[in-house]
Amino acid sequence: MASIGQIIFWSMIVLIFVMAGFIILLLAIAFSRSQSFVQSSDQSPVGNLGQDVVLNCKFNPKLITGMQTNDVSITWTKAGLTRPVYRYQNQAAQLQDQDPQFKGRTQLFPDAIAGGNASLLLQRVSMVDEGVYQCSVSASGASGSVSIHLWVAAYSSPTFSRSMTTLTAEAPRWFPKPNVTWTVYQGDVLNASTEFFNNSAGIFTVVSTLKLPAHTNETYTCVIENTLVVAVSQATLTGDSGLTASTDYSFNSATPSRRYLHLLLIAPLLYSYFLT
């Protein structure tokens, strides 16, 4: 009969092996990710309607046999389309069978290809461009692909104007419909009235007006936010009519893979936490 002590001892041994195996698996996944031939530093870019966007894709030329970058072929495809978005082979664009949706709107960066840059420049982004793209690269001894989810929104910085008693932010192009929040100091929320004007294409103009106390010298923060984009503007009032403003953007389209990487980073911490 095994004593309680022995049972606990062997349970601990088994547990340690299982945990160690788990950690090795996680490290192997992390390692294979960092070593893969084709990667993207932004797997969920947000394009601004009507403007250009770069779909980021890079490959490691050191993994090509003899570093023969002359025979690199790059193919961009989009889920749901049978014809390619862009194809590059024999050191030239091969666009005979390109999907008509992308005609005249795509290019690579030819001078940068030998250095491992397979990024696609997509011009004049439209709503139908939204979707999952695949960047595939093959060369002697190496091949791989990465998928990139392009989101499309419309966003623009507000311009500010002030009167004696009001501060108004007006932003001409937003989609999807955003909400607007004004704060002052360390985040005290202010009451403002916001109107949306919807043009024929369904794009919104945002006009938001804040009532000001007399003779204010504050910095007001105006946040215009929709499901994809957050625009944070700081408007500083000085004297009776002075006004300076700036806007920073961030994007709400975090990918599952980024969350997954966080998990990889905290896993060893959890592991050591449970062991001690």
Ligand X SMILES: *[C@@H]1O[C@H](CO)[C@@H](O)[C@H](O)[C@H]1NC(C)=O
Footprint of ligand X on this chain (CB under 6 A)?
54, 56, 58, 109, 112, 117, 119, 179, 181, 191, 198, 200, 202, 215, 217, 225-227, 238-239
- Cβ 215 to ligand X shortest distance, Å: 4
Tell me the pairing of strands 166-174 and 204-211.
antiparallel
CA 195 to chain centre: 29
Q: Closer to ligand X at the Cβ: 26 or 205?
A: 205
Q: Closer to ligand X at the Cβ: 99 or 225?
A: 225
- Cβ 201 to ligand X shortest distance, Å: 8
- Cβ 198 to ligand X shortest distance, Å: 4
What is the DSSP-derived secondary structure letter of residue 80?
T
* Residue reference for tokens 């340690």: 16
Please tell me whether the peptide bond between 176 and the residue prior to it is cis, using omega within 30 degrees of 0.
yes
- Cβ 101 to ligand X shortest distance, Å: 23
Sequence-distant contacts of 253-262: CB under 8 A, at least 24 apart: 253/44, 253/45, 253/46, 253/149, 253/151, 253/228, 254/44, 255/43, 255/44, 255/149, 257/43, 261/30
Q: Closer to ligand X at the Cβ: 129 or 237?
A: 237
Note whether 210 and 182 are within 8 A (CB): yes
Note whether 156 and 172 are within 8 A (CB): yes
- Cβ 230 to ligand X shortest distance, Å: 8
Note whether 153 and 49 are within 8 A (CB): yes
Note whether 245 and 160 are within 8 A (CB): yes
Q: Closer to ligand X at the Cβ: 11 or 51?
A: 51
Q: Closer to ligand X at the Cβ: 119 or 247?
A: 119
Q: Closer to ligand X at the Cβ: 11 or 163?
A: 163
Find, among 208, 158, 201, 207, the residue nearest to 182 by Cα: 208
Q: Closer to ligand X at the Cβ: 3 or 241?
A: 241
- Cβ 56 to ligand X shortest distance, Å: 5
- Angle, vertex CA 77, rays to CA 259 and CA 175, nearest 5: 60
- Cβ 192 to ligand X shortest distance, Å: 9
